[in-house]
């Protein structure tokens, strides 16, 4: 008998009926596990094959041979079920391994998956995720530690001038001061120091919020450095420190004048404050390979190697007296703000020990 459209339509109808019946029958167990899902798929495929075969036999009037053909179809289905069971066991095992691996990651440990081609890629991804989470936890712990140190230092640095202000105010109120003008001058200096701390905290909040580097314009770095040196010359004179500037080649960069001025001023002022009397702070500006280099060399005696990498951390101060001088601002935020400003301008800042002191290197991409 030749194949007709009616034959094909009938076979497809029987196949759809068999597949639908098997799918509905296995519905309750399909959600239990991946193994049962694979069994359901295999049974549904077998039912569709048997249905199509019976439909074709029915239309071709070959029912005499239908029993043998159905048995062969059922045997083929049994083979399919066996393969599905083996695949389901492997998939289920790897699924349990993934669940256990996620539990290991949640506990802060690196998971180990069973060896297998399918698991290798997943294991690499889980290892990368575990490392990323571990690094994130370490960053969070470091950030929390720096915040606690900052709060402790700020509490101390704020309490000291406030106590002095209160004592001087009470002395002036009780008319116990032989020279009120001196006290008024001290009060003004204490207020300036408190304003500097508040200004630093506000700048630090801007750094952490990513507010720096948004308003860029061409800036002549030579003029900016010259202005910073001129503004800091009185501080150098009061400390009896020689401030030397050497500009080999001017450079134009894109950025905010106020922000970059603050960053450069922080580094140079820090060098002046930590250099002893009759010492020298040398500032050098140059351009090399499309990058502007600003070097600030002081004679502070060097920073211990175990804390050298922390000088740009928020609130960190390498020694109890590093920022305790009057007018220093004292919260250990200046270098952290400098790093944030330079990074916002696609630049960087590093520090290294040299003979007798330190060298800070500021880099910015030239326009």
Same domain, 162 and 309: yes
With respect to residue 129, please indicate whether it lies within any of the assigned structural domains.
no
Number of structural domains (the chain) is 2
Same domain, 30 and 167: no
Same domain, 80 and 156: no
How large is the angle between the packed helices 180-209 and 334-344, nearest 10 degrees? 40
Which residues are bridge partners to 30 per DSSP?
A: none
Contact call for residues 336 and 315 (beta carbons, < 8 A)? yes
Q: Between residues 76 and 342, which one has the greater pLDDT?
A: 342
CA distance to 33, 87, 99, 123, 251, per residue, from 119 (Å): 19, 14, 13, 6, 54
Contact call for residues 10 and 56 (beta carbons, < 8 A)? yes
Same domain, 105 and 197: no
Kindly indicate the confidence band of residue 242, based on its pLDDT and cuts at 50, 70 and 90.
very high
Kindly indicate the confidence band of residue 317, based on its pLDDT and cuts at 50, 70 and 90.
low
Rounded mean pLDDT of 61-85?
57
Same domain, 102 and 158: no
pLDDT in tens, 267-292: 999 899 899 998 999 999 988 888 88
Kindly indicate the confidence band of residue 359, based on its pLDDT and cuts at 50, 70 and 90.
very high
Contact call for residues 325 and 243 (beta carbons, < 8 A)? no
Check residue 140 and give its pLDDT: 82
Same domain, 146 and 88: no
Contact call for residues 301 and 294 (beta carbons, < 8 A)? no
With respect to residue 124, please indicate whether it lies within any of the assigned structural domains.
no
Q: Which residues contact 259 (CB under 8 A, 6 or more apart)?
A: 212, 213, 341, 344, 345
- For residue 11, the surrounding DSSP H or E stretch is helix 5-25
Same domain, 93 and 146: no
Q: Which residues contact 75 (CB under 8 A, 6 or more apart)?
A: none
With respect to residue 127, please indicate whether it lies within any of the assigned structural domains.
no
Same domain, 345 and 224: yes
Q: Between residues 319 and 234, which one has the greater pLDDT?
A: 234
Check residue 297 and give its pLDDT: 93
Query: Does 81 have pLDDT greater than 50?
Result: yes
Check residue 176 and give its pLDDT: 79
Query: Does 201 have pLDDT greater than 90?
Result: no
Query: Does 319 have pLDDT greater than 60?
Result: no
Domain assignment of residue 59, given as a range: 5-114
With respect to residue 352, please indicate whether it lies within any of the assigned structural domains.
yes
Q: What is the mean pLDDT of the chain?
A: 76
Kindly indicate the confidence band of residue 59, based on its pLDDT and cuts at 50, 70 and 90.
low
Same domain, 72 and 179: no
Q: Which two tokens stand for residue 306?
A: 């175990």
């Amino acid at each position: 008998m030749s194949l007709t459209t009616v034959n094909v339509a009938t076979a497809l109808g029987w196949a759809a009926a068999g597949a639908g019946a098997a799918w509905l029958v296995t519905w309750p167990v399909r959600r239990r596990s991946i193994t049962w899902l694979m069994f359901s798929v295999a049974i549904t495929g077998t039912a569709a094959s048997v249905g199509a075969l019976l439909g074709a036999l029915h239309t071709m009037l070959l029912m005499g041979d239908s029993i043998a053909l159905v048995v062969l179809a059922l045997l083929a289905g049994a083979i399919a079920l066996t393969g599905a069971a083996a695949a389901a066991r492997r998939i289920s095992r790897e699924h349990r391994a993934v669940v256990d691996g996620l539990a290991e990651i949640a506990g802060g440990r690196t998971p180990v998956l069973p060896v297998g081609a399918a698991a290798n890629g997943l294991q690499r991804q889980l290892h990368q995720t575990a490392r990323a989470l571990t690094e994130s936890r370490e960053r969070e712990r470091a950030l929390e530690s720096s915040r606690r140190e900052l709060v402790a230092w700020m509490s101390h640095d704020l309490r000291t001038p406030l106590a002095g202000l209160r004592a001087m105010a009470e002395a002036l109120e009780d008319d116990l001061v032989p020279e009120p003008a001196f006290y008024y001058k001290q009060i003004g200096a204490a207020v300036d120091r408190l304003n500097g701390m508040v200004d630093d905290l506000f700048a630090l909040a801007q750094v952490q919020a990513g507010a720096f580097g948004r308003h860029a314009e061409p800036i002549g770095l030579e003029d900016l450095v010259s202005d910073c040196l001129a503004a800091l010359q009185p501080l150098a004179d009061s400390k009896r420190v020689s401030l030397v500037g050497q500009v080999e080649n001017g450079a134009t960069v894109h950025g905010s004048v106020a922000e970059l001025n603050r960053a450069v001023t922080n580094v140079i002022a820090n060098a002046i404050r930590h250099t002893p009397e009759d010492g020298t702070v040398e500032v050098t500006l140059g351009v090399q390979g499309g990058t502007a280099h600003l070097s600030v060399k002081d004679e502070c005696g060097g920073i211990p190697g175990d804390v050298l990498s922390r000088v740009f951390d928020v609130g960190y101060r390498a020694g109890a007296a590093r920022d305790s001088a009057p007018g220093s601002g004292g919260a250990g935020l200046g270098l952290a703000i400098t790093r944030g400003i330079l990074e916002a301008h696609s630049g960087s800042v590093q520090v290294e020990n040299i003979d007798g002191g330190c060298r800070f290197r500021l880099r910015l991409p030239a326009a």
